Amino acid sequence: MDDSSVDDNLVDDNPVDPEQDTPVDDPSLTFAQLRTRAERTAAGLYEQGVRPAHTAAWQLPTRIETVVLSLALARLGVRQTPLIPGHREREIALALRATEADWYIHPGQWNGTDYAALSDRVREQHGPTPRTLTAYDTLPDADPGSPTALPEPPTDGTAVRWIYWTSGTTSQPCGVRHTDRSLIAGGSCLAHALRLRSDDVGSIAFPYAHIGGPDYLVMLLLYGFPAVLFEKFAMPGALAGYRRHGVTTAGGSTAFYSMFLAEQRKRPGHKLLPALRLLAGGGAPKPPELYHEVVAELGCQLTHGYGMTEAPMITMGSPDDTPEQLATTEGRPPAGMEIRITGPDGALLPPGSEGEVRLRGEAVCQGYLDPVRTAEAFDADGFLITGDVGRVLESGHLVLTGRTKDIIIRKGENISAKEIEQLLYEHPAVADAAVIGLPDPERGERVCAVVEQPTGAPPVTLGELTAYLRGVGLATYKLPEQLEVMAQLPRNGTLRKVLKYQLRERFS
C-alpha cells in the first residue's frame, strides 16, 4: 500500500470483561506503518543472521507482531512454514525435519504453554532443532539503510516460499507448497467474491498461521479497510472487541457462526453485534438450516465458501446470490479457477453429474514436499484431485456431497483419522480402532473414536484415551470428543476393511 493509506489499519484486540465498558487502548498500525515496521524487522532479522536462502518455521498467535514478522521474512525472501499454536511435539518435529528449517520462531510463554520448553522436548525426542528466536511484544529492529543494508527484495512470485500443513488422508501432516502468486490469487478471489467496502471493519479471529491468514491480509490490502486481530478468541469475552471497533464483517468457519448464534440466543430481540452485516467463512460443512438461523436471528448476511490448504479459495457465496444458493451451495468459482467433475477414472462427466471435484488455477498450490504425493495429486492435465465429491449446477454453483478422503474437518482444520487410529492402536486397552467424523452443529464435525478392546481388558474411558494421546504429543484440536466401544467393528467380507459408513450411520 502507498503512504496515503494512513486511515486503514490492523488493530490488536485486548480482551476485557464483556460486562464492563472500560475503554481499552488497543495497539494499531496503519498499512504504511506496517510496511515500515516490516522493513525494520527484516533488517533486524538480517543482522541476526537470517538470510534469503533460509527456511523459518514460526509458531505464533494472531497479533500484529505476527503479521509484521511474516511480512519481514517475505521481504527477505525467506521460505516460511507457519505452524498453528496448537501444534505440539509430533507436528513441530515433522515440520522442522521435513523443511530442514534453519530457524524456529516462537512466542516464549503464551496461553499456558512454554514454547521454549516445547522446543527442548522436540530436541530431546526427535533430534537437533534449528536456531530459535522469541518473537512476541518485541521483534528484531534495525535501520534498513544501515551498513548491513537489506538485500534486494525477491522478484520471482512463482518461487515456493510458503509451506503450509494439512493432514489430508495420510497418517501424518503433509507440507503444501505455495508461492507469493498463489497466496495473492487466493486472497484476491476472496476479496472480489465478498465485495467488501473501504468503510467495512473486518476481523481475524482464527489462527493467522492458517492458510486463511494471508488470504485475509491480501483482501485488506486490496480493498483498503481495517481489521481487528483477536489473539485469543472465546465467547463471550471477544464480543467487547467486536462492539468496540464496530466490526461489520466476521466469521472464519461454521464453528464461528454457531458461537455467535449461541450468544445471540441468550438475549433474543437484542442485536448481538449492532454493526455486523456479514458473516463469511469456509473450511467446514455448513448445514443449510444454519444459514437461515443466522440471517433470521443475527440479522446479517451469511456467505460460505469452499477452500483447502492446497487452494485457499475455490468457490465462495456472493452477497447477490439467492437465499437458496447461499443455504445449499458453496458458491461459484472466481475467474481463473477451473472446476472439473470427473468419474473415478478421471473422465469428464456431463454437466450436473455428481463426481470427484478437480481444480486448476493460479490459487492452487505447487504440490507437496513429498514428490510422490505430488505426482498422485495432479492428473495429466494439471488438475488437482481434491478427493471431494460434488456437482456443479447450471448457475455455476458448486454443491459438495461428500469426500473420498478419510479426513475429519473440525472447526475448519483437517484431521487425519489414520494418524489418530495408529496412535490408539498402540494403547494396551485398544485392540483396534476406527476414527470417524460425526456431524456437529458447532464444529462442523466432531472426532469420534470407535474401539475394540482386547479380551479381558478393563473398560477404557474417553479421559484415559485423550490423556494418552496428549502424552504422545497429539495436538489438542485432534483429540476425540466422543468414544464408542464395540465388541467388533463392522468389516467387509473381502479385505476385512472397517465399514466406516456403518459407524457414521450408527453414531450420528
Other Cβ atoms within 10 Å of 200 Cβ, number: 21
On whether the CB atoms of residues 427 and 335 are closer than 8 A, the answer is no
CATH code matching the domain that covers 29-155, chosen among 3.30.1330.60, 3.40.50.1970, 3.40.50.980, 3.40.1180.10: 3.40.50.980
Q: Would you state the pLDDT for residue 14?
A: 65
pLDDT in tens, 381-431: 999 999 888 999 999 999 998 777 677 889 888 888 888 998 998 899 998
Q: Would you state the pLDDT for residue 149?
A: 76
Can you tell me the distance from the alpha carbon of 292 to that of 438, in angstroms, rounded to the nearest whole number?
22
Can you tell me the distance from the alpha carbon of 201 to that of 9, in angstroms, rounded to the nearest whole number?
10
> From first to last of its 508 residues, what are the pLDDT tens digits of the chain?
333 333 467 888 765 433 333 345 679 999 999 999 999 999 999 999 999 999 999 999 999 999 999 999 999 999 999 999 989 998 999 999 999 999 999 999 999 999 999 999 999 888 888 999 999 999 999 998 877 678 999 999 999 999 999 865 344 689 999 999 999 999 999 998 998 988 999 999 999 999 999 999 999 999 999 999 999 888 999 999 999 999 999 988 888 898 899 999 999 989 999 999 999 998 777 888 899 999 999 999 999 999 999 999 999 999 889 999 999 999 999 998 999 999 988 999 999 999 999 999 999 999 999 999 999 999 999 999 998 889 999 999 999 987 776 778 898 888 888 889 989 988 999 988 999 999 998 889 999 999 999 889 999 999 999 999 999 999 999 999 999 999 999 986 545 678 888 999 999 8
3-state secondary structure 430-490: CCEEEEEEEEECCCEEEEEEEEECCCCCCCCCHHHHHHHHHHCCCCHHHCCCEEEECCCCC
DSSP string across 177-228:
EEEHHHHHHHHHHHHHHHT--TT--EEE-S-TTSTHHHHHHHHHHHHT--EE
Q: Would you state the pLDDT for residue 496?
A: 66
Q: Would you state the pLDDT for residue 16?
A: 44
Can you tell me the distance from the alpha carbon of 214 to that of 473, in angstroms, rounded to the nearest whole number?
28
Domain boundaries, the chain: 29-155, 407-507
Q: Would you state the pLDDT for residue 319?
A: 85
On whether the CB atoms of residues 306 and 400 are closer than 8 A, the answer is yes
Q: Would you state the pLDDT for residue 1?
A: 30
- How buried is 92 (Cβ within 10 angstroms: 0-12 exposed, 13-18 middle, 19+ buried)? buried
Q: Would you state the pLDDT for residue 167?
A: 66
Can you tell me the distance from the alpha carbon of 436 to that of 418, in angstroms, rounded to the nearest whole number?
10
CATH code matching the domain that covers 407-507, chosen among 2.160.10.10, 3.30.300.30, 2.20.28.10, 3.40.140.10: 3.30.300.30
- In the block, cell 512454554 appears at 114
Q: Would you state the pLDDT for residue 492?
A: 65
Establish whether domains 29-155 and 407-507 are of one fold.
no
* Bond prior to 236 in cis (omega within 30° of 0): yes
Q: Which residues contact 62 (CB under 8 A, 6 or more apart)?
A: 204, 205, 206, 207, 208, 213, 229, 230, 231
Q: Would you state the pLDDT for residue 6?
A: 37
- Closest CA relative to residue 270, chosen from 246, 297, 290, 301: 297
- The residue type found at 130 is P
